[in-house]
Amino acid sequence: MLRDKPLTVQTLLRTFLKPISITWLLTLCETALMALIPLFIGFAIDGLLEQNYDSLYWLTSVLSGLILLGMARRIYDTRIYGTIRAALGRELIDRSGALPVSRQNARLDMGRELVDFLEAEVPNLLTSSVQLVISVVILFLFHPTLAWAALAAAMLTITTYGASHKTFFRLNTHFNHQMEKQVNILSGKSPDSVFSHLQKLRHTEVRLSDMEAYVYGAIYAILMAFIIFNVWFATTNLTATVGTIFSIISYSWEFVEATLILPVTLQGWTRLSEIMERINQPNAG
């Protein structure tokens, strides 16, 4: 099924397009319902304040549909992505048969990360994309300034991560190269060698963690400034009901949560880029 094809995310997507498309479609439906919840909560608040229960019934229906859809998607996901992991693992071992067991083991684990990306990161990206669009549109309907503030925050977030891409790639290269040696080092049963190996992993992990702290600290600062601005603008420049204010704040926060997925996904792709480059050179590294 994967023979003679490059082992990449794109190949897995083309080979298993139909089942993956179904699970992503379910994800989009679930996301659309999720994105509507703050709006329906706002309607329910205003309705209940006027002793009108219709909006509360609509909110209950949306939440019930969300629960059922989420259960169905998770049951389906487990079976589909388990099949893809097995197929990819078999092909990886076939291609890496001449390599030491240590590197085969490491690459088998790395290969699973490609499927993990399709199962978790891409649906998260789809979810965040839908949430971003809906949030911006609804904020624009409340007032254009709220939407423009959101778009400015998103652009600054992407730019901030982009500046760190090469550093993340280089550090992941060091980490994966060291992991490919692990089984052989453990087989040698030398405490000094094992300790040295663990120290090298620790050193790279610390550098990765420090880089993440700096990048995500800057991103959080950008997004928190956006939230503070929208809260200030909504409460001091708009004539709105309590339910409307709640919806504006909710969609501003939903925008923040969705925007945070972007750098996480980009960082995952940076790591996968290094892994795909590595596993498609079976006798190198």
Which residues have CB under 8 Å from 150's CB, separation 6+?
135, 136, 139, 226, 230, 252, 255
148 pLDDT band (50/70/90 cuts)?
Answer: very high
283 pLDDT band (50/70/90 cuts)?
Answer: low
Residue 3 is assigned to a structural domain of this protein: no
Name the token pair of 117.
Answer: 């990306």
CATH number of the domain residue 39 falls in = 1.20.1560.10
Residue 218 is assigned to a structural domain of this protein: yes
**Three state DSSP letters for the chain:** CCCCCCCCHHHHHHHCHHHHHHHHHHHHHHHHHHHHHHHHHHHHHHHHHCCCCHHHHHHHHHHHHHHHHHHHHHHHHHHHHHHHHHHHHHHHHHHCCCCCHHHHHHHHHHHHHHHHHHHHHHHHHHHHHHHHHHHHHHHHHHCHHHHHHHHHHHHHHHHHHHCCHHHHHHHHHHHHHHHCCHHHHHHCCCHHHHHHHHHHHHHHHHHHHHHHHHHHHHHHHHHHHHHHHHHHHHHHHCCCCHHHHHHHHHHHHHHHHHHHHHHHHHHHHHHHHHHHHHHCCCCCC
**Overall average pLDDT of the 219-248 stretch:** 86
* Residues 175, 104, 7, 277, CA torsion sign: positive
Torsion of CA 94, 100, 101, 107, to 10 degrees: -60
Residue 243 is assigned to a structural domain of this protein: yes
Top mean pLDDT of 47-51, 66-70, 93-97, 147-151 is at 147-151
**Overall average pLDDT of the 157-178 stretch:** 87
What is the Cα 166 distance to its own chain's centre?
A: 19
Which residues have CB under 8 Å from 221's CB, separation 6+?
none
Residue 1 is assigned to a structural domain of this protein: no
Residue 284 is assigned to a structural domain of this protein: no
Residue positions counted in the chain: 285
In the chain, how many domains are there? Answer: 1
Tell me: the pLDDT tens digits for 184-201? 887 777 888 888 888 888
pLDDT at 106: 78
Tell me: the pLDDT tens digits for 11-33? 888 889 999 999 888 888 887 78
**What domain range is 102 assigned to?**
9-279
What gap in Å lies between CA 70 and CA 29, rounded to an integer? 9
Question: What pTM was estimated for this model as a whole?
Answer: 0.69
What gap in Å lies between CA 193 and CA 224, rounded to an integer? 46
Q: How far is CA 33 from CA 14, 45, 63, 67, 164, in A?
A: 28, 18, 8, 10, 34
Asked whether the predicted pLDDT for residue 94 surpasses 60, the reply is yes
Residue 253 is assigned to a structural domain of this protein: yes
Instruction: Return the higher-pLDDT residue of 282 and 251.
Output: 251
Asked whether the predicted pLDDT for residue 273 surpasses 90, the reply is no
Asked whether the predicted pLDDT for residue 257 surpasses 80, the reply is yes
Average of per-residue pLDDT values in the chain: 85
Residue 285 is assigned to a structural domain of this protein: no
